[in-house]
Amino acid sequence: MDLTDKTILITGGTGSFGTNCIAHLLDEHEPRAIRIFSRDELKQSELRMRYTDDAPLRFFIGDIRDRDRVIQATKGCDLILHAAALKQVPACEYNPFEAVQTNVLGAENIVAAAIQNDVPCTLLLSSDKAVNPVNLYGATKLCAEKIITQGNTYATYSVARFATARYGNVVGSRGSVVPIFMRQAEQGSLTITDERMTRFWITLPQAIAFVLDRVAQMEGGEIFVPKIPSMRVVDIAEAIAPNAPKVITGVRPGEKLHEVMLTEDESRHARELDDCYLIYPEFPTWRSAPYLAGEPVVDGFRYSSDRNSAWLSADELRAMLPTFALA
């Protein structure tokens, strides 16, 4: 998608993805305006100070729970990148009503606003936690995916179309294990929940590139899953602090040993492209033509972090740390 002279709204725009995406858009594209939508006025003020007054940034204080404010923020937009969410697993478990209002009802508000304002493209940023969820955060992201996908049904008489980018852990993002291990390394020992644990990993630049490429590709209803490497958590610890003691604490409530980004059931309506898997909707009532992109995946295929064909080594992660330490 050519983003020249386009108006882009990023919900959760002061988060790790949002702030880095803004920098990328300003460096690589010439948007008419980038609207940063978030609740935190301090983070917005700090972000504003990074740029000159002539940067095409518009700062919207608001909450995606507030449909009227979302409708106002999306007027005249060409693209919505929906990154806002409550993401901390323990916080969502302790505050389930809040998690539902933000992650589920917030997604509904985004869909309603995009349809009302005829926003052509909306892309949800989802997580591998949404697949076979074992915690509330994952369950709310699964609901958000369903709402975004079936939002296309409600948009039959609108130009609005909706799709999802589902990817794994972002190395170095706020709350991820990399900055946690880096802080623990300064204190002397690292805590590991289980030595068998594996995770999918993607860098922020890779995530941004993947999301923007999918905007150009989406037709409505797709879930895009990138082909990214896995890594054992013990190897992450080794990369960050090879000589520090490792303390095994046990798997935490709501945590999996391995993550999945594409299930056997989804594989029946998924196809493989060079750089990603494309999961098509099972009930595409808004479309009559068949989908032809890519090749069908093998029946029963499962894309999980422990059965991945690509692995990130400790040395490869160690080479990335100077960049991620600042993410």
Query: Could you give the residue numbers annotated as active site?
Result: 129
Using an 8 Å Cβ cutoff, are 208 and 20 in contact? yes
Compute how many other C-beta atoms are within 10 angstroms of the C-beta atom of residue 298: 9
Gap between the Cα atoms of 126 and 149, Å rounded: 12
Gap between the Cα atoms of 78 and 38, Å rounded: 19
User: Bridge partners of 122?
Assistant: 80, 162
Q: By three-state DSSP, how is residue 222 classified?
A: coil
The two beta strands, 33-38 and 303-304, are: unpaired
Using an 8 Å Cβ cutoff, are 200 and 262 in contact? no
For 297, which DSSP code? Answer: P
227 burial type by CB count under 10 A (0-12 exposed, 13-18 middle, 19+ buried)? middle
Q: By three-state DSSP, how is residue 36 classified?
A: strand
Structure tokens at 245: 């003691």
269 burial type by CB count under 10 A (0-12 exposed, 13-18 middle, 19+ buried)? middle
